[in-house]
Amino acid sequence: MDYTRYAVQEQLKELHIMQEHEVTQMMYEAAFLESCYETGVIGVLEATEDNLFKGLIDALKQFFASMKSVFKRRSIALYDKKFTPQIIQTLKNNLDTLQSNAKKLSPRKDVPYWKGDVNQQSSAVIAAVNTAARNISTNNVKDYTYAKAILGNDGTNLLEHQDTAMTEYLKNYFRYGGAGDVETKRVTISGTDIAGMLGDMIDYIDKYTQEYAAIPGKTSDKMTATIDKIKIEEEEKNNNNNTTSTSNNNTQANTESLSPDLYLSVEEKYLCETLLPIMINYDDAVLEAKNNKKKEQTDEQKKVEKAKEKEKQDGEGSPTKSTPIDPEAEKKQKEEAKENDKTAKISPKDYFNRLTYFAKVATTAFQTSIEERYLYYVDVLEDCGAREFEKSVEEQQKAAEQAKVAEQKAKEEAKAEKKKKKKGIFRRNK
């Protein structure tokens, strides 16, 4: 099963959460601007009562919990279909026979699942998420290199644009450690090569349900714990702002959250680009402008000096002299300015959303590769004669029926739990 499709579905749900938050925020911004323009005085820009990070993290937790449950049930069903502890022991006891049969096999080209180090891969994903979380904390939200060791040189673009092609890169990484492999690589192996790996294959199948199938869930738990800290930091920040706002009892409006570079989505402009700078209390209300007035003047002086230096470097002398136009250079300059404007508007919220998308796709790709490895090892063992030691057809059918019943029961329980939560929110059944 390709579990990455669940990540895409979940991303649509979280996109709805973000859009709902954005619409609410734009309504607050519109009310704020309307009040300012009507009165000629800058007032208070209220923040949305809902916590976006909390909503997204809650959704992420539910998704990971659901995927752990789904993967666990399927892993057990796949194992129980063919094996028991007794059968595994029989395979180990007959390893010599299986190896002898393997040596008779013709050379083949297979995906090298045996090269995948699941523990190392788990650590790499966790490290990538830790780096991304630090980037958010330090507002380094233009840095998408945190998963380069996993996604290769294409990782930056894949992460920034939430490219669905990322799923294939991740699956290949988890399959055999292929960092940056968009195409699934295969290697030629002989029967003798297979014979030397049969012991490890049997061991993997033996530990599949209890050890290997549990690794993606443990990985997602650690990623969630890291991402959860981002939420805590953001909540503390918001709580501090709210405390400051409510504790100020003077007649002057408290606008500590305002700054010239505050981006207003409703106008698609920064605050300093709107009509607010003409308001009578702009210098007092926009504290950053007031506190950093001297610093801003110094910065402007630096800009002038930098501009003059650039003119010298470009061969532009006196302002009275003409300068020839280079169409290509002008085009490049405009494109760079456009790109800089685009990246300047990247918010921690957007970066956070891309991070959670990576976490979801990575977890589901991890699950997919671990299941694929299991199925591949089963196929190889059967090619070597393991089928005679497995459960009979009748036993396999019975196991499949039991798995189906268990799955249906799990779905009903999940549905009942969801209905219960919904009733708790709305106080009635819908």
Condensed to tens digits (0 to 9), the pLDDT of residues 234-265 reads 444 444 444 444 444 433 434 446 778 788 88
Backbone dihedral region of 325: left (phi > 0), alpha (psi from -120 to 50 degrees) or beta?
beta
pLDDT for residue 293 = 41
CA dihedral 154, 159, 163, 168 (to 10 degrees): 60
Name 89's Cβ contacts closer than 8 Å, sequence gap at least 6: none
Q: Are 240 and 257 in contact (CB under 8 A)?
A: no
Q: Tell me which DSSP letter residue 109 carries.
A: E
Give the number of other CB atoms < 10 A from CB of residue 356.
Answer: 24
Beta strands per DSSP E along 93-233: 108-110, 187-189
Buried b (16+ CB within 10 A) or exposed e, 20-30: ebeeebeeebe
**Which of 121-130, 187-196, 342-351, 412-421 comes out lowest in average pLDDT?**
412-421
Residue 108 φ/ψ, nearest 5 degrees: -145, 160
What stretches of 316-430 show up as alpha helix (H) in DSSP?
327-344, 348-383, 393-426
pLDDT at 415 over 70: no
**pLDDT over 70 for what percent of the chain?**
72
- pLDDT tens digits along 300-329: 556 666 666 666 666 655 555 555 666 776
Residue corresponding to tokens 């909503």: 55
pLDDT for residue 393 = 73
Where is pLDDT greater, at 108 or 300?
A: 108
